[in-house]
Amino acid sequence: MRISYRMIQKARLINPLLPYMLPQCRNLQDAKQELIWLEKHFKNQNIQLAKAVIERFKGKPLQYILKNQPFGEDLTINCRPNVLIPRWETDEFCHFINTKIFQNYQSQDINKKINIVDLCSGSGCISLSIKESNTMFNVFGVDISDSCINLANENKKINSLEDVEFIKGDILNPDLKLLNKLIASSAEKKIDMIISNPPYILHSFLPYLNTSVKKYEPSLALFGNLEFYENFVKIWSKYCDSFFYELGEIEQFEYINSNLDPKVWAVLKWSDSNDKIRGVYGYRKHSQIAKMFDTCK
């Protein structure tokens, strides 16, 4: 939809830079808020501020201009081109996992060190936020891209967290070396939980995407249909006790729900606070870790 001339005029009266924020923000309130954040970042640097505003006008994501994004309890995640920016929904489901599921770890007397694998770790936000609130756990992150691994290690250093290992590896065709490395730390030779935010936007959705996403963010981290869910059912589900996958379409939930054995697996939906389905999670009914899920229902 076009932005009305009246709105542009109104914005210009408030601040001459404000009209340039409108195409990306779409309304006056959000535009004002973003300009405040930019002004805070570029204090007393008027030329840089003007440059940043024009970059934003062209569609560059705000997180790439400010170079970071707050995440989880107290993390700052650095953002760079070629790596997906952490999303609000991811933050919300991390909060859900930390407060509703892992909260039961101590009360349920699970006498083992839990190891968690974050597939498609990207900037490392999920693994780091889980490590931040559960320092006892073993956390691994796996990603195929070099720039993701570098950035994730950098983020680990910035937030002064340790014992999080980021490994480069192909998730769709995992080799034995990678699998052995992930399993090695546990006694039962199993991964306790797989958490993943795989690419899930359909290719047919491309024309409707926002320019800032389309132009600036890596397509490797965005587009996919059922690949990762098929891959989970065929390969990763053999090695894990529970899982949490973010998703975009309901078909992806149905694929997992129908292809896992209902006698062994319990599969549940997770929807965000706007009642939109955003995730699928499940656990083996007879595993030790199932205790954590029983209480959170």
Partner 1 sequence: MFQYINIFNKRLIHNNITLKAKVKAHQLPPRVRWDPKLECEIEEKFLYGGSGAGGQAINRTASKVQLKHIPTGIVVVNQFSRSQKDNRKKAREILMEKIESLRNSNGKGNGMGMSDRALAVYNLKKQKKLNRERGAAKKYKKIDEERAELKEKKLEQEKLMIMKLTGKLE
Binding site for partner 1 (CB under 8 A): 25, 29-30, 33-34, 37, 61-63, 69-74, 84-85, 87-89, 91-92, 95, 197, 199-201, 205, 208-210, 212-213, 217, 221-222, 246, 248, 272-274, 276, 278
Helix (H, G, I), strand (E, B) or coil at 175: coil
Query: ∠31-276-194 over CA atoms, to 5°?
Result: 105
DSSP notation for 201-266 = B-GGGGGGS-HHHHHHS-GGGTB-SSHHHHHHHHTGGGTEEEEEEE-SSHHHHHHHHHHS-TTTEE
* 131 or 284: CB nearest partner 1: 131
CB of 55 to partner 1, least distance (A): 14
* 181 or 214: CB nearest partner 1: 214
- Residue for token pair 């009266």: 13
* 16 or 70: CB nearest partner 1: 70
Enumerate the β-bridge partners of residue 143.
Answer: 168
DSSP notation for 18-29 = GGGGHHHH-SHH
CB of 94 to partner 1, least distance (A): 10
* 114 or 198: CB nearest partner 1: 198
CB of 156 to partner 1, least distance (A): 19
* 62 or 164: CB nearest partner 1: 62
CB 142 within 8 Å of CB 152: no
CB of 30 to partner 1, least distance (A): 5
